[in-house]
Structure 1
Amino acid sequence: MYPALLALKDGLVVSCQTSAGNPVMGPEPMTLMARAAETGGAVGFRAEGALDIASIRSISSLPIIGIRKTGRSAAGGVFITPTFENAAEMAAAGADIIALDGTARPRPSGQTLAGIILRIHEELGLPVMADTDSIDSGLYAEDAGADVVGTTLSGYTTDMAVSDLPDLGLVAALVARLDRPVIAEGRYWTREEVALAYSSGAFSVVVGSAITNPMMITRRMVAATPRATSNPGLT
């Protein structure tokens, strides 16, 4: 197993990324989040974009799972590192692991998941984390050569409402079916949920918004106040 992956085993990976419109978006605040997370005991990070990855790399030697989000309008809805060129950009910025969409949906320019993973292995020398949404896509990603499979996309690839809870069932199902390690990611908000992911067989757990998105954390807390319950527009 790649050393960068082994370093994540049984630990907490903190996702230091956010989206447009959030006051903490950008390399400087995300790097401060990473520094705080490392001080708190994180074993690695997940980060988006070359600028954020390079900035975090400058202050930490912990493994970085790098991604490049290209917008939800990308071919077939694939927007997490859809091409090899995106992966190469993240590697050049300092990523130790490349995460990409691990579903069977089409990718730009006719690139295939198996082809991208092969090039990442051969040309970049890095392991690949496949972000999946189901047992079928987990099996597909394993067959394509992914080194680890994550539950990152569970609930986000259909028009159905996204659950507020992590998909622990998918974690357990993937652990039972795959020969690859499974990383639990997506909507983990409590210590109890992290512990349940490990009891379900997870190799590692990624937590993002519950640690690095103070705007969303505040909204969740505000929703419990009398003012919010009498004025739903506040939440």
Structure 2
Amino acid sequence: MIDEAPMPLSRERPPPSSAGRVAIALVEDDPHFCLFLESMLEASPRHRVIATANSAAEALAWDAAVQPHVLLVDVGLPDRSGAELVADLVARHPAALVLMLTAETDAAIVLQAIQGGASGYILKGGREEEILGAIDDALAGGAPMSPSIARKVLGLMRGPGNVKPAVKSGGAALAILTERESNLLERVAAGAGDKEIAEALGLSRSTVKNALLVIYQKWRVRSRTEAAVKFTRLTEG
């Protein structure tokens, strides 16, 4: 049974002693869910928690020595929206991936987090293997997001009046893509995985992954989801 007494959430830890373990920082104000995440991650041979915070302010006050590979950020923080916090965290930890933790599927909030640099969404209430799988998927270049959330985000992007004027004139951004990159992105935006794309285009999965990395650099985006959202905006604007 979990002790009902509140526990201090904001703390930093020494780096993991085991080489190769993924360093993870948590920004979560629910002490019980934070404890669940910590226990799960510490029990995994692939992951380790190096810092926790229960508010945006505490996360932004971490010592410079805190250098996570992955940040798990709750959307509903007490002092600031987690979706708003993403851009600041990305600026402070440019090498880290940010994954949002949420019990909601509000497409506008999801889109705000993606535009800020989030690489995916993890729904609270998921099984341990689903949460760990989402982290590993992001580290492998994927963009973990439940199908229901992905559909809502694309629906928001395709809805009338939701494309900003500055994005409508996106010919230059599309012009810098090769034909193969455009074909690849079209399938990414439709929700296809690397294996599916590779088979459709007659490529290896490694070629697809490398092509995506090139696209990220060209468009200055950080994730598969961000690239898909941008492609949808440009082609349907």
* TM bracket, shorter-chain basis: 0.3 to 0.5
Give the alignment's TM-score, normalised by structure 2. Answer: 0.36
Please state which structure has a larger fraction of its residues in helix: 2
Structure-1-length-normalised TM-score: 0.36
